[in-house]
């Protein structure tokens, strides 16, 4: 056995709550109760209905999460289109140590990019 293979004896003590049984043992474990009342049956049915309803709610939540993930991906892509051009342009001419970006032009461009970023991150 290699080091990557799990040692199965490590898992022997975990109790999943089931018991192996042959047919005779199973019949002795399952006691059919002839005294089950209609009210008890109705209560069990209501519990089963609630479980089914909860399951369908979980499935609906999965669909909502998928939509949210799609929206998030679209917003992140939009944000990349605003931020990455600045970073790519800053990388150009890396042999030069200084950038010339006149103040009024810099302010105007920064304000425009700030508006774009906020419109992406704060829109619904």
The whole-angstrom separation of Cα 69 and Cα 63 is 10
pLDDT for 41: 80
Q: What is the pTM of this model?
A: 0.48
What is the token pair recorded at 108? 């105007």
Going residue by residue through the chain, which has 124 residues, state the pLDDT in tens, using 9 for 90 and above: 556 666 666 666 666 566 677 777 777 766 655 567 788 888 888 988 888 887 777 777 777 888 889 999 999 999 999 888 888 888 888 888 888 888 899 899 999 999 999 999 888 7
Give me the pLDDT at residue 15, please. Answer: 63
């Amino acid at each position: 056995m290699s080091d990557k293979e799990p040692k199965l004896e490590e898992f022997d003590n975990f109790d999943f709550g089931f018991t192996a049984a042959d047919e005779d043992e199973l019949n002795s474990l399952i006691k059919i109760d002839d005294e089950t009342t209609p009210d008890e049956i109705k209560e069990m049915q209501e519990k089963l209905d609630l479980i089914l309803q909860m399951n369908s709610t979980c499935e609906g939540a999965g669909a909502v999460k998928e939509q949210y993930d799609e929206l998030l991906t679209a917003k992140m892509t939009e944000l990349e289109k605003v931020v990455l051009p600045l970073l790519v342009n800053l990388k150009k001419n890396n042999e030069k140590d200084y950038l010339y970006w006149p103040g009024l032009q810099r302010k105007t461009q920064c304000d425009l990019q700030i508006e774009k970023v906020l419109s992406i991150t704060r829109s619904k």
